[in-house]
């Protein structure tokens, strides 16, 4: 088309028909502008498709990570409930009249004192990558705000859980240094060893330390379950938003 216009322009100029030359020049300009607009539109469409691909890739990763976090939290809630039940069983022992200190210490020994497998390590790879690369700008505001809020809640939860576990472990360690360990069970047939260790003289201190440690742990475990349930609710809502956003992307492609 431009070539035809150029030929026409040359013919007009050769015939000194300048008034028509301006019309042909205007036509060339319009064609150039239209070509630029089409190129910009194609480039914009390609860029939008690229961004949509990035969004969908992150959406897929986020959904996988959120499902993993949900499963982990549900498992941890079961672990915490079992621990709380174990503690309550110990508390019920005090309904027995006239317990001796040694009996209370032995009852303490039956409480679930483990800390392993209680820590939740959340999956924050995708949100961290989004923030680090700056590609979080491609995520719609509502989902972006929910992701940032969830990450902050997860970080706060991990910090609080770690602090509470450390305080409990510190008390447990002190009690074990005083003799609160599996050796208590092995002393039944070892009267000489028992006399040498003289653990009975430390039972009151052991009982008080473990009572404080377990009471703290029980309180924090109840709070931990509430926080985990709140996170599960946030994850559920966030997943619904992401699924809806993916559906919208699929519709736009179609």
pLDDT digits (tens, 9 = 90+) for 150-206: 999 999 998 999 888 899 999 989 988 888 876 666 776 778 887 887 878 888 898
- Domain ranges within the chain, ordered by starting residue: 63-253
**CA–CA distance, 102 with 112 (Å, rounded to integer):** 18
d(CA 155, CA 124): 10
Rounded Cα gap, residues 50 and 31, in angstroms: 28
Which of the four pLDDT bands, split at 50, 70 and 90, describes residue 214?
Answer: very high
Per-residue pLDDT at 230? 94
Closest CA to 5 of 29, 37, 38, 39: 29
* Closest alpha carbon to 24 in 15, 34, 11, 33: 11
**CB distance 225 to 80 below 8 Å:** yes
Q: What is the pLDDT of residue 117?
A: 63
Asked if residue 184 lies in contact with residue 106, where contact means CB atoms within 8 angstroms, the answer is yes
Is the pLDDT assigned to residue 12 strictly greater than 60?
Answer: no
- Tens-digit pLDDT profile for residues 37-94: 887 788 777 787 888 888 899 999 999 999 999 999 999 999 999 999 999 999 998 8
What is the predicted pLDDT for the residue at 150? 93
> What DSSP state is assigned to residue 134?
S
pTM (global) more than 0.85? no
What is residue 82's predicted lDDT score, i.e. its pLDDT?
Answer: 92
What would the two tokens of residue 15 be? 């015939």
Ramachandran angles phi, psi of 135, nearest 5°: -75, 0
pLDDT of residue 240 exceeding 90, the answer is yes
pLDDT higher than 90, residue 243: yes
pLDDT at 101: 85
The more confidently predicted of residues 35 and 131 is 131
pLDDT of residue 185: 64
Longest dimension (CA), the chain: 129
- Per-residue model confidence as pLDDT tens digits over 219-231: 999 999 999 999 9
- pLDDT, tens only, 109-118: 888 887 766 6
Query: Two tokens at 207?
Result: 């009982």
Q: What pLDDT, on the 0 to 100 scale, is given for residue 16? A: 52
- 1: pLDDT strictly greater than 70: no
Of the two residues 142 and 6, the one the predictor is more confident about is: 142
For residue 9, the model assigns a pLDDT of: 53
């Amino acid at each position: 088309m431009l070539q035809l216009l150029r030929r026409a322009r040359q013919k007009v100029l050769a015939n000194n028909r300048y008034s028509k030359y301006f019309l042909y020049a205007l036509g060339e300009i319009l064609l150039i502008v239209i070509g630029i607009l089409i190129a910009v539109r194609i480039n914009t469409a390609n860029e939008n498709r690229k961004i949509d691909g990035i969004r969908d890739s992150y959406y897929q990763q986020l959904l996988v990570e959120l499902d993993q976090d949900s499963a982990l939290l549900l498992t941890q809630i079961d672990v915490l409930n079992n621990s709380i039940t174990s503690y309550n069983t110990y508390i019920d022992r005090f309904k027995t009249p006239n317990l001796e200190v040694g009996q209370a210490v032995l009852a303490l020994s039956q409480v679930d004192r483990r800390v392993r497998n209680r820590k939740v390590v959340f999956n924050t790879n995708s949100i961290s990558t989004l923030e680090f690369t700056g590609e979080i700008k491609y995520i719609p505001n509502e989902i972006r705000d929910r992701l940032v809020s969830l990450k902050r809640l997860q970080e706060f939860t991990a910090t609080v859980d770690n602090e509470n576990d450390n305080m409990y472990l510190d008390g447990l360690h002190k009690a074990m240094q005083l003799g609160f360990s599996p050796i208590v069970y092995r002393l039944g047939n070892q009267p000489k060893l028992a006399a040498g260790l003289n653990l009975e003289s430390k039972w009151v201190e052991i009982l008080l330390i473990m009572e404080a440690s377990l009471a703290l742990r029980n309180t924090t475990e109840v709070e931990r379950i509430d926080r985990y349930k709140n996170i599960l609710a946030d994850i559920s809502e966030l997943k619904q938003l992401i699924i809806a956003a993916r559906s919208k992307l699929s519709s736009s492609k179609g």
